[in-house]
Structure 1
Amino acid sequence: MNHNFTETFLKASFSIDGISISKEDALNLSREVRELISNELKDPSIVYLQDDNPLRFCLTFFTLLDFGHAPIALAPDFNQVQKDHFLLNKKRSWLENGSFIKIAINGKSEIEFENSYACLTSGTTGSPKVCWLSTDGARFNASAHAKSLKLSKDHTLLQSLPLYHSFGIACYLWTVLELGCQLDFNTVFLGMKGLTKRVDAKTLKNAVLYASPAQLKFMLREKVAKPVTGVDIISFGGGEVLSADVIKLEDKFEDIKSFVTYGLTEAGPRVSTGPIDKERESGFIGCAFKEISVKVLTDADELKSSGLGKLCIKSPSLKQNQDEDETRDGYYITRDLVQITDDEIFFQSREHDLIKVGGVSIYAKDIEVVAREFEGLKDCLVFSKEHKMYGEIPILIAEGEVDKTELLIFLKDKLAVLQIPKKIHIVSEFPRHSLDKINRKKLFEIIEESS
């Protein structure tokens, strides 16, 4: 056994939907997991980890690491065809126990990175990719993220985002292990109604809630009779949020601190955090953690400490399976265009969302921000399409039951000429990945089929 992660993790307190899980039940479940793994996996193995029981998922994750195995965290509905995409021509052994499913690749030589685990990227722009993350890097990342939010052992983390995602593993599992704080598992997302019920049941105190931009929009639509108490901190990640929207949401809480955070699976995953401030420019995603260095790769192909360019990250928690073309001087090159000014990072656009219309740079997010103001529009996506005359033109896909003509009139009144979408598609509901990110690949397939 290499570690005692499980023993440390079990020192924390756990609950599900606000109902406490006894220490005895947690210990008994841990013994079951330990016995199963020790009996069935004799050699260090790469292990697919899937489980819809949240506490058992956590205990299995840490127990596998304790025994020298390398877990790959997957969604419960991740199927065999998808698994084969990642690990072809490998010798597999099956181990099943109800909803607890593992597929192990036996043999020490198969484990390329010791003391590591793997997560998948969300696949927002294509197929998900495997990222191998070290346990030391993960512990650093969880601690740095917790410090940026001023978390302590007295806080309760409200799990409302997937555990199997790199964010969930760092911000729930590793954070609990590092701080010893309480972890409350939730079977459904805790919107305003759910939080209000928890207040009424007196099961909400010193709580911390992580939410996605899509969840922010959902919470804004919900009505509350009185401000929610017991939530100290709410932090938004997984995409850009508008400060004005977060400030509106703050009115539904009593004495809450709001933050925006940025990260990506390849970075292990968190990079920066910052307080929500209506005075700051649009796109603020915080300042890098103290131990993380960030730069921009400019159009002149130079690494600079400030200015506009692709965000580049040097961090102890970067993924281990890096390709040569992904790095420069130890910095991981992201596909996110940012502006760094006085150590503050401002998100501009995804690389694929920069649209050159007649040689003029147009940012998809600038169009999306305006479009989301249109009544009845739930969400939208702007992308680039080749054009003979202009080189590229913006195309808008709108989610919701909206009138295309009225939407176009609305946009023409608020956007510059080159920003106006040359075509608008209406989709009733967007397909999404974990963290509620839009599944662009499936969305484009829907558009193609309907054209």
Structure 2
Amino acid sequence: MAQTLPGAIAWWARMRGAQPAVVLGGDILTYAAWKDWSDRVAAMLLAEGLQPGDRVAICATNSLAYVALILGVIRAGGIVSPVNFRCTPREIAELCESTEPAIAFAGPDQAAHMAAAGLSPHPMAVIDALRAGDPAQVAHDPQPDAPVVIIATSGSTAKPKGVVYTNRSMTAYAAIWAVESVSSSPGARVITLAPLNTSAGFVQLLHYATQGCTLYMEPQFDPLRALRLIEAERISCFGAVPAFFEFIAALPEFQAADLSSLRLATAGGSRVSRQLLETYAAKGVTIRQIYGQTEIGGNVTMMPEHLALESPEKCGWGTVFSDIRVVRPDGSDCDPHEPGEIIMRSPGMMQGYWRNPEETAKVIRNGWLHSGDIGTLDEQGLLTFVDRMKDIIISGGLNISAAEVERVASEFPGITEALVIAAPDARFGETPFLVYHGPAEVDVADLIRHCDISLSNYKVPRYVVWSPEPLPRLATGKLSKPAVRERYAGAHERLPRVR
């Protein structure tokens, strides 16, 4: 089991067996208990006929049972296929059409949607029942290069692609950041807020667990609870979108709060303002901006602590094992401050997109991952993120494919063509703004109900506007999103929210 996730957890079960690995709602799962529980889960899956490489779909909210199931699937040689618990039956069916899970599990609130998508999920109570019991012997020997998870990621296409990580890539990612930051050394205490079905939630769990940390897993973000948790549990590491740091800083309790335990604070997903940096710096905390994406395994840069305050717009440079470049369309390196495409390579990089060699070949070329993002490097090699070439809306840290929303909206009677752009949002950073053309205005309430059937709540447009004229097009005949962005810039300020 060299360089595998189960091997890493087994190591900490021996070295720090009594240390909490995951704490959720006051319930504590130690490293020793996690290993034993996951072994029993693995034995159960193998008894059900799970074969190496079989996919196991999981649709549930965060729980300790979910944590045990993830490791149990990997220990048995299966591939975890997390399903967003917000997904509609249609979204679940589209995802599983590609992953073809051999076994499925669902939480009590997600079982009906899984069944409507054509699956026959086991209840998560089956995993809960295995928390206690005799030690299990698991014959399967996990392999370092075996795939362990397929993370659905929204891209420029209407349907999500599945990013594949292996044991080796995930343990390598953890090793990169163990070298880069002593703040997450064994025993460090980490808050993780993201759902386990997302790359952020899944990677954080196994990244910090591979490093021997204790994860405080919160079911949802509550600013006051997060602040109290940092103080009471002496949290060492906290990473979130900038908006979450803003919400905490806005609390009346923030001024008197003791944040002295925080040794690593990172923010990604949108730019960190100088005001936010200064607010936390006054409390002795340096927020360090990061850059990355699911395909690279997580983040590939972290702003050096001693430079973060003076250059809040910058995201740092590559790591001891990772490289970043900014290149022109011909592949040559851009000059300092010249914008170009960000490309990167890292041992934590994805193996590829699940059953999608064509898309994999588009983004991984000559060992470099082409991000589809525009950035610049300065004379020191520090990265500044400029814009996304891919058409992604990031709302509250969650990626939304504009193409997916457009596809669903275009199915509504009376809509001839539709484009979705990002509108600024005080709470979530960005939110979907739908512009459509048709012979007449449609009933917006009916349109939103139509979107609710096929899209997760956070993907449903918050603003809708009708264009009596056909939407602008490029010379190639494609709809021109830049022209629509320019035409409707600031329109959200005078339009009512429909959601």
TM-score normalized by structure 1?
0.70
- Residue 117 of structure 1 aligns with which residue? 149
Question: Of 250, 264, 269, which aligns to 2:298?
Answer: 269
- Residue 243 of structure 2 aligns with which residue? 214
Residues 97 and 241 (structure 1), Cα distance of their counterparts in 2 relative to 1, 3 Å cut: same
- Asked if 1:259 corresponds to 2:326, the answer is no
Contact map agreement 1:5 1:62 (CA 8 A) in 2: no
Moved more, 76-85 or 152-161: 76-85
Moved more, 36-45 or 338-347: 36-45
Contact map agreement 1:294 1:305 (CA 8 A) in 2: no
Contact map agreement 1:209 1:234 (CA 8 A) in 2: yes
Question: Of 75, 78, 95, which aligns to 1:86?
Answer: 95
- 1:5-63 Cα distance to aligned partner (Å, 9 max, x none): 55346445132245544678656644552343232234221221334343222222222
Contact map agreement 1:50 1:100 (CA 8 A) in 2: no
CA distance in 2, matches of 1:165, 1:77: 11
- Residue 16 of structure 1 aligns with which residue? 24
- 1:382-435 Cα distance to aligned partner (Å, 9 max, x none): 99984799x876666xxxxxxxxxxxxxxxxxxxxxx89656124666xxxxxx
- Residue 318 of structure 1 aligns with which residue? 349
Contact map agreement 1:272 1:286 (CA 8 A) in 2: yes
Corresponding residue SS for 2:77: coil
Residues 87 and 185 (structure 1), Cα distance of their counterparts in 2 relative to 1, 3 Å cut: closer
Question: Of 195, 202, 205, which aligns to 2:234?
Answer: 205
- Asked if 1:169 corresponds to 2:169, the answer is no
- Asked if 1:99 corresponds to 2:136, the answer is no
- Root mean square deviation of aligned Cα: 4.0
Report 1:210-359 matches (<5 A).
210-224=239-253, 225-229=255-259, 230-251=261-282, 254-274=283-303, 275=305, 277-280=308-311, 282=313, 284-304=314-334, 307-321=338-352, 323-341=360-378, 342-351=380-389
CA distance in 2, matches of 1:214, 1:127: 28
Following TM superposition, by how much is the alpha carbon of 1:305 offset from its aligned partner in structure 2, in angstroms?
7.8
Following TM superposition, by how much is the alpha carbon of 1:259 offset from its aligned partner in structure 2, in angstroms?
1.3
TM-score normalized by structure 2?
0.64
Residues 73 and 31 (structure 1), Cα distance of their counterparts in 2 relative to 1, 3 Å cut: same
Amino acid in the other structure paired with 2:347: P
* % identical aligned pairs: 15
Moved more, 137-146 or 224-233: 224-233
- 1:299-357 Cα distance to aligned partner (Å, 9 max, x none): 44534585420101122222222522223322111111000122211111112579xxx
Following TM superposition, by how much is the alpha carbon of 1:77 offset from its aligned partner in structure 2, in angstroms?
3.6
Residues 125 and 239 (structure 1), Cα distance of their counterparts in 2 relative to 1, 3 Å cut: farther
Question: Can you give the 5+ residue segments of structure 1 that lack an aligned partner in the other structure?
Answer: 103-110, 355-367, 397-418, 430-445
Amino acid in the other structure paired with 2:248: M
Amino acid in the other structure paired with 1:7: A
- More strand as a share of residues: 1
CA distance in 2, matches of 1:164, 1:197: 26
- Asked if 1:64 corresponds to 2:77, the answer is no
Following TM superposition, by how much is the alpha carbon of 1:187 offset from its aligned partner in structure 2, in angstroms?
2.3
Corresponding residue SS for 1:240: coil
CA distance in 2, matches of 1:277, 1:23: 35
Amino acid in the other structure paired with 2:339: L
CA distance in 1, matches of 2:367, 2:35: 42
Question: Of 167, 173, 176, which aligns to 1:135?
Answer: 167
Amino acid in the other structure paired with 2:167: T
Contact map agreement 2:56 2:104 (CA 8 A) in 1: no
- Residue 41 of structure 2 aligns with which residue? 33
Following TM superposition, by how much is the alpha carbon of 1:234 offset from its aligned partner in structure 2, in angstroms?
1.6
Following TM superposition, by how much is the alpha carbon of 1:273 offset from its aligned partner in structure 2, in angstroms?
0.6
Amino acid in the other structure paired with 2:205: Y
- Residue 185 of structure 1 aligns with which residue? 217
Following TM superposition, by how much is the alpha carbon of 1:65 offset from its aligned partner in structure 2, in angstroms?
1.5
Contact map agreement 1:195 1:228 (CA 8 A) in 2: no
Contact map agreement 1:382 1:395 (CA 8 A) in 2: no
- Residue 144 of structure 1 aligns with which residue? 176
Amino acid in the other structure paired with 1:317: G
Residues 194 and 115 (structure 1), Cα distance of their counterparts in 2 relative to 1, 3 Å cut: same
CA distance in 1, matches of 2:474, 2:163: 39
Amino acid in the other structure paired with 2:46: S
Following TM superposition, by how much is the alpha carbon of 1:168 offset from its aligned partner in structure 2, in angstroms?
2.3
Question: Of 24, 40, 49, which aligns to 2:58?
Answer: 49
Following TM superposition, by how much is the alpha carbon of 1:190 offset from its aligned partner in structure 2, in angstroms?
4.7
Query: How many pairs align?
Result: 377
Residues 394 and 227 (structure 1), Cα distance of their counterparts in 2 relative to 1, 3 Å cut: farther
Residues 331 and 53 (structure 1), Cα distance of their counterparts in 2 relative to 1, 3 Å cut: closer
